[in-house]
Amino acid sequence: NLQRCESLKKLDLTVNFVAKAGLLTVRSLQCNEFLEELFLMGNPCADFDGYREYVVATLPQLKRLDGKDITPSERIIAKQNYPAISQRLEDELEAEGVDLEAAKRIEDAYNAPIDEDCIETDPNKTSPWSIETRVKDHREMKAERERNEAKKKSNMDKLCTGEKQKPRRTAFDPIPTDPEARIYQKNEGEWDFTLTDSEDGRAVVLDVNIGKYIDTSLVDVDVQPKWVRMLCKGRLLQLELFDEVNPDQSNAQRATTTGHLVVTMPKVKEVHTT
């Protein structure tokens, strides 16, 4: 799982119980293009006759192996002898009863399934620092980058084709004076959101994923008895409510970890449960 450490320059695995079969996975370090120094001395793999030539030929970016500089002539000889040494290594391992397919398999936790039990689902609580949470964070960041890149590409395509974008709003539209006026649902920012009852059923809760890096000063919320609207970076989210709420008692908060905007709107008619 070290192939994801792009900036790794030195790796010391001295006396680390790396078996001879471990030489078959040395190639995974080819992804670490900045790796210059590697220590494998004191491991069973270093006892293999041809170990140094095998590693030198497998990792062309190395400059030092076990504290000894790799000379240009040594690298050339190692590349020439690599096919024979590689075949001899596999023959010896096979004779020792080693499963070559399993020994060559390279683990990569990036695509491994996540143990959801190790991850805190409450956005206001902190998950333990573990492999599961680190993998989950990296996947979320990758997905976020892909969404941003797709959005940028879409905007560039619109510019190239001459398609005009709607101007950003600077304020909410005036409140309709007609109480029977129809309120249209709008999601100009294409945000992910949920509009549900609170756990006790006494309030309507709007949860909007506006992103953790959006400055709160760019967000404005307006709650009316039968509808709610949010303005973020000039884009409007406007939703009709399924129950009448009390605007004066409503409140809006940002989740500290996820940046979600949560608007809690108490209902005018409370639901009594037994």
Q: Residue 123 and residue 174: Cα distance in Å, rounded? A: 34
Q: Is 170 within a domain? A: no
Whether residue 81 is found in the same domain as residue 42: yes
Higher pLDDT among residues 237 and 164, named by residue: 237
Q: Name the residue range of residue 114's domain.
A: 108-165
Q: Is 1 within a domain? A: no
Whether residue 212 is found in the same domain as residue 256: yes
Q: Residue 161's CB: how many other CB atoms inside 10 A?
A: 7
Whether residue 80 is found in the same domain as residue 143: no
Please list the residues that pair with 222 across neighbouring strands.
229
pLDDT at 251 over 60: yes
C-alpha of 106 from chain center: 21
Query: Which strands, in side-by-side order, build the sheet including 10-12?
Result: 10-12, 37-39, 64-65, 68-69
Whether residue 113 is found in the same domain as residue 51: no
Quote the pLDDT of residue 55.
96
- Whether the predicted model's global pTM rises above the 0.85 cut: no
- pLDDT averaged over the chain? 85
Higher pLDDT among residues 151 and 202, named by residue: 202
Q: Are the C-beta atoms of 6 and 32 separated by less than 8 Å?
A: yes
Give the model confidence (pLDDT) of 107-155 as tens digits. 665 555 555 555 555 555 555 556 566 677 778 888 888 988 888 888 7
Q: Is 175 within a domain? A: no
Q: Is 173 within a domain? A: no
Whether residue 85 is found in the same domain as residue 113: no
Whether residue 89 is found in the same domain as residue 124: no
pLDDT at 212 over 80: yes
Whether residue 210 is found in the same domain as residue 126: no
Whether residue 57 is found in the same domain as residue 28: yes
Whether residue 207 is found in the same domain as residue 225: yes
Q: Which residues of 123-153 are buried (b: 16+ CB within 10 A; e: fewer)?
A: eeeebeeeebbebbeeeeeeeeeeeeeeeee
- Our count of domains for the chain comes to 3
Whether residue 103 is found in the same domain as residue 147: no
What is the pLDDT confidence band of residue 274, given thresholds at 50, 70 and 90? very low
